[in-house]
């Protein structure tokens, strides 16, 4: 049993928590640990059970409210605009923080979440960075900032945020090996593959069940199109990470990506049916929904008939058609409504985003909608309707801006693939030439990719026919 930290332990760590309840402090530690390790601890009733015990131990514990609300917000599956319970919880947290003496650090935590709840993502990150300047070992601030930089597509800040505090994370600190994994992901996303891999392997040497470090290595192999290493690594380590229930679906998604890359669609569908779809149906989390949509869409682009699988996914994704928390999520929910031929949900998703984008206030994502989000979504609709020239016309000017909708390089590759397929299917000679140019570039930056080779063969056929 992990000796969760009580009031004194947190004080000794220089991270005072304003509560007299040792139980509340311990449950805060347990919740933070589950968030960082991507794993619900069954002995505590998982995150939910843990947060409920925390609430009972001290209903007025400000940081208890911060972690509980923060975890809901970071899941990007509900917003204060549509979820009254969440809206009330955030307001209650703010009111509580004003009615008691808190440390400066705790006040900043409350402010960061208030900004995050309003959609002011960059402001929230700035506030977490303020905390980290004085408290480099505040893991909640570090992890919240890391995840939100990821949603913003701020890849360099995501890496540097950890780089600035990394030397403070000595091996004696609880969860310090996981910080290696968090840092390794930022390094990988900014193309420091060797350094990223080294850190991820160091983290795994300390704790082989660290699913996020496994995830970094999965990405490195994906980025290098090193299918042999990728497939071998996932198979060898599967038993170590498959119980990290918050990330296992995503790691299986990476495993299936290697099979798509290889052109082994049957194997990809088997991983999908056995691991990816069932986990998503059970959890319903946004990360799992996005992975399911992305996987089916990629297979469809490759010409694979995915049967009735869209129907199951769209049952989950359609609940989020009015959320508009992240453009990235919207794009994936749209894949599902198009795949399931659910015209009503497609229409609802697009029109509600258009309406909200007219008065975006300070909501970061809604401000992206007019010039980035809406044209991107429209490109999917045009592609679906066979208007390939129009899809290219919408997508091509966005290709260097897509990073702003967040996600990883591997996740955003679906948009790059869509552009190539639209250009290939276009009747226009100029667009077919564009497809060839994009594929040459892809081959240069990620050599030995069978997927790229297959697409290059298509352009050669077109060229021969032309």
Residue 43's pLDDT is what? Answer: 94
Opening angle at CA 384, ends 380 and 386, nearest 5: 120
CA–CA dist 157, 149 (Å, integer): 7
Task: Tell me the C-alpha to C-alpha distance, in Å, between residue 69 and each of 64, 74, 112, 147, 303.
Answer: 9, 9, 11, 15, 42
- Judge whether residue 464 has pLDDT over 80: no
- Judge whether residue 1 has pLDDT over 60: no
- Span 76-95, mean pLDDT? 97
CA–CA dist 72, 80 (Å, integer): 10
- Split at pLDDT 50, 70, 90, the class of 465 is confident
- Span 230-248, mean pLDDT? 98
- Judge whether residue 228 has pLDDT over 90: yes
CA–CA dist 196, 220 (Å, integer): 8
Is 0.95 topped by the overall pTM?
A: yes
Per the prediction, the chain carries an average pLDDT of: 97
Q: What is the pLDDT of residues 368-417, one digit of tens each?
A: 999 999 999 999 999 999 999 999 999 999 999 999 999 999 999 999 99
- Span 306-316, mean pLDDT? 97
- Judge whether residue 239 has pLDDT over 80: yes
Residue 462's pLDDT is what? Answer: 75
Residue 461's pLDDT is what? Answer: 81
What is the domain partition of the chain in residue ranges? 175-272
- Span 429-445, mean pLDDT? 96
Q: What percent of the chain has pLDDT over 70?
A: 99
- Span 179-202, mean pLDDT? 98
Q: What is the pLDDT of residues 119-175, one digit of tens each?
A: 999 999 999 999 999 999 999 999 999 999 999 999 999 999 999 999 999 999 999
User: Would you tell me which CATH number, out of the four given (1.25.40.10, 3.40.50.1000, 1.10.2020.10, 3.40.50.10420), belongs to the domain 175-272?
Assistant: 1.25.40.10
Say which residues have a Cβ less than 8 Å from residue 12's Cβ, sequence separation at least 6.
Answer: none
CA–CA dist 90, 73 (Å, integer): 10
Q: Are 221 and 233 in contact (CB under 8 A)?
A: yes
CA–CA dist 285, 279 (Å, integer): 9
Residue 463's pLDDT is what? Answer: 74
Q: What percent of the chain has pLDDT over 90?
A: 97
Q: Count Cβ atoms within 10 A of the Cβ of residue 213 and give its class: 0-12 exposed, 13-18 middle, 19 or more buried.
A: buried
CA–CA dist 115, 198 (Å, integer): 35
Residue 237's pLDDT is what? Answer: 98
What token pair was written down for 168? 């403070």
- Span 264-271, mean pLDDT? 98
- Span 352-365, mean pLDDT? 97
Q: What is the pLDDT of residues 47-81, one digit of tens each?
A: 999 999 999 999 999 999 999 999 999 999 999 99
- Span 338-351, mean pLDDT? 98
């Amino acid at each position: 049993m992990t000796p969760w930290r009580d009031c004194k332990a947190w004080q000794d760590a220089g991270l005072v928590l304003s509560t007299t309840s040792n139980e509340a402090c311990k449950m805060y530690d347990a919740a933070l640990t589950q968030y960082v390790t991507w794993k619900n601890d069954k002995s505590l009733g998982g995150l939910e059970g843990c947060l409920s015990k925390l609430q009972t131990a001290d209903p007025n514990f400000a940081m208890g409210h911060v972690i509980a609300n923060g975890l809901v917000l970071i899941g990007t599956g509900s917003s204060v605009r549509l979820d009254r319970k969440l809206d009330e919880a955030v307001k209650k947290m703010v009111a509580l923080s004003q009615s008691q003496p808190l440390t400066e650090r705790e006040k900043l935590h409350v402010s960061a979440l208030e900004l995050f709840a309003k959609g002011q993502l960059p402001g929230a990150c700035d506030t977490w960075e303020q905390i980290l300047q004085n408290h480099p070992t505040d893991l909640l601030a570090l992890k919240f900032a890391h995840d939100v930089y990821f949603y913003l597509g701020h890849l360099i800040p995501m890496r540097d945020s950890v780089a600035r505090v990394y030397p403070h994370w000595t091996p004696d600190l609880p969860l310090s090996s996981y910080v290696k994994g968090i840092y390794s992901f930022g390094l990988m996303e900014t193309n420091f593959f060797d350094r990223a891999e080294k850190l991820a392997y160091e983290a795994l040497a300390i704790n082989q069940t660290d699913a996020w470090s496994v995830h970094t290595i999965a990405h490195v192999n994906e980025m290098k199109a090193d299918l042999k290493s990728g497939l071998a690594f996932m198979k060898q380590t599967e038993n170590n990470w498959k119980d990290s229930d918050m990330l296992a679906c995503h790691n299986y998604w990476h495993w299936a990506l290697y099979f798509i890359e290889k052109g082994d669609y049957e194997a990809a569908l088997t991983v999908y049916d056995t691991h990816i779809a069932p986990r998503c149906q059970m959890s319903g989390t946004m990360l799992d929904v996005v992975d399911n949509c992305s996987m089916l869409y990629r297979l469809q682009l490759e010409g694979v008939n995915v049967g009735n699988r869209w129907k199951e996914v769209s049952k989950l994704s359609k609940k989020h058609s009015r959320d508009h928390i992240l453009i990235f999520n919207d794009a994936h929910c749209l894949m599902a409504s198009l795949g399931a031929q659910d015209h009503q949900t497609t229409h609802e998703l697009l029109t509600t985003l258009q309406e909200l984008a007219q008065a975006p206030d300070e909501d970061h994502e809604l401000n992206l909608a007019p010039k980035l989000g809406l044209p991107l979504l429209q490109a999917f609709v045009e592609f679906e309707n066979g208007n390939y020239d129009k899809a290219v016309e919408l997508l091509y000017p966005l290709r260097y801006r897509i990073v702003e909708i967040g996600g990883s390089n591997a996740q955003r590759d679906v948009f790059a693939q869509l552009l190539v397929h639209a250009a290939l299917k276009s009747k226009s000679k100029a667009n077919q030439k564009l497809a060839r140019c994009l594929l040459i570039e892809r081959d240069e930056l990620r050599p030995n990719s069978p997927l790229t080779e297959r697409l290059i063969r298509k352009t050669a056929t077109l060229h021969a026919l032309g």
